[in-house]
Amino acid sequence: MSVLIGTEGLYLAHGSQTVLRDVNLSLARGEIVTIVGPNGSGKSSLLRALIGALAPARGRITRAPGLRIGYVPQKLAIDATLPLTVARFLGLPRRISATRAGEVLTGAGVSGLADRQMSALSGGQFQRVLLARALLDTPDLLILDEPTQGLDQPGSAAFYQQIETVRQETGCGVLMVSHDLHVVMAASDRVLCVNGHICCEGTPDIVASAPEYRALFGTGTRGALALYRHEHSHSHGPEGDHAHDHDHHHETTGA
Ligand SMILES: Nc1ncnc2c1ncn2[C@@H]1O[C@H](COP(=O)(O)OP(=O)(O)OP(=O)(O)O)[C@@H](O)[C@H]1O
């Protein structure tokens, strides 16, 4: 198994606030791993650390030599008044050939969009274009932060299907954050459930039946709007003797 990226005892902080504790993970080529967890649980911070945009407060991140990462951000605001075609957008900041633009758009499942205006794309098309941009460097690892935010259920399912196709065609590893619990459970090889630390992890079946996951998300994840209540209390050794109680209400949209 060829490990692409891993962490050992990783702690992340914003200023004096520790947002993630003692994260140990590893991701291999060809795997699709999804991170789930409530809002503010540290998911985006973890992705940002893995791409090198947030320095560890403690611990280590190891990357395979020469690892190429393609990143799809959570949000990308483009001025709607700016005339910018999809092909031009893909060529920022480095110019690319029309052939290459066509290739990555095809890889993202939207081959006909090159000449469209970015401002005229639907939410789903926009996300596909961001995916196409992430494919430009032929990444070994694709990292996606809530790539289906704002998409409806069929749109989300189609997007994840495209990720699966990319994985099959390129053999890359995929790490993504998602709130689409039902899709996550169907589309991932492994799931990491995060809430300030990794609460539980494993195959979707194992995670879905883990008490920590059920405490966060309940037993049914099929509703269009899942209201979940998180109450868990546990302690971690040997140094993390923090017992904590959470009592949050969260709304997950698009689930
Ligand atoms: N740049 C920053 N400066 C200060 N605090 C930050 C920064 N980014 C995130 N945080 C804080 O770190 C914590 C974790 O945020 P993060 O964005 O990693 O969570 P998340 O699980 O991705 O949340 P969501 O599901 O809402 O996207 C939150 O309390 C957040 O307010």
| Closest atom of ligand 1 relative to the 45 alpha carbon | 18
pLDDT reading at 75 higher than 80: no
- Coil, strand, or helix at residue 198? strand
pLDDT reading at 57 higher than 80: yes
Using CB distances shorter than 6 Å, the residues near ligand 1 are: 14, 19, 37, 39-45
- Where is pLDDT greater, at 134 or 156? 134
| Closest atom of ligand 1 relative to the 41 alpha carbon | 21
Q: What separation in Å is there between the alpha carbon of 13 and the centre of ligand 1?
A: 10
pLDDT reading at 76 higher than 80: yes
Which pLDDT value is given to residue 239?
A: 38
| Closest atom of ligand 1 relative to the 179 alpha carbon | 25
- DSSP of 45-87, one letter per residue? HHHHHHTTSS--SEEEEEE-TT--EEEE-S-----TTS--BHH
- Where is pLDDT greater, at 124 or 22? 22
pLDDT digits (tens, 9 = 90+) for 124-146: 899 999 999 999 999 999 999 99
DSSP 243: -
Q: pLDDT band at residue 206, thresholds of 50, 70 and 90? A: confident
Q: What separation in Å is there between the alpha carbon of 158 and the centre of ligand 1?
A: 28
Beta carbons within 8 Å of 219's beta carbon, 6+ residues apart = none
Q: What separation in Å is there between the alpha carbon of 45 and the centre of ligand 1?
A: 6
Q: pLDDT band at residue 220, thresholds of 50, 70 and 90? A: low
- What integer is the mean pLDDT of 208-222? 74
pLDDT reading at 222 higher than 60: no
DSSP 134: H
Q: How far apart are CA 141 and CA 71, in angstroms?
A: 9
ipTM for the assembly? 0.96
Q: What separation in Å is there between the alpha carbon of 42 and the centre of ligand 1?
A: 6
| Closest atom of ligand 1 relative to the 47 alpha carbon | 18
What's the pTM?
0.83
- What integer is the mean pLDDT of 213-241? 47
- What integer is the mean pLDDT of 31-48? 94
Which pLDDT value is given to residue 65?
A: 96
Dihedral angle over CA of 48, 50, 55, 60, nearest 10? 160
Q: What separation in Å is there between the alpha carbon of 41 and the centre of ligand 1?
A: 7
- What integer is the mean pLDDT of 28-51? 94
Q: How far apart are CA 46 and CA 6, in angstroms?
A: 11
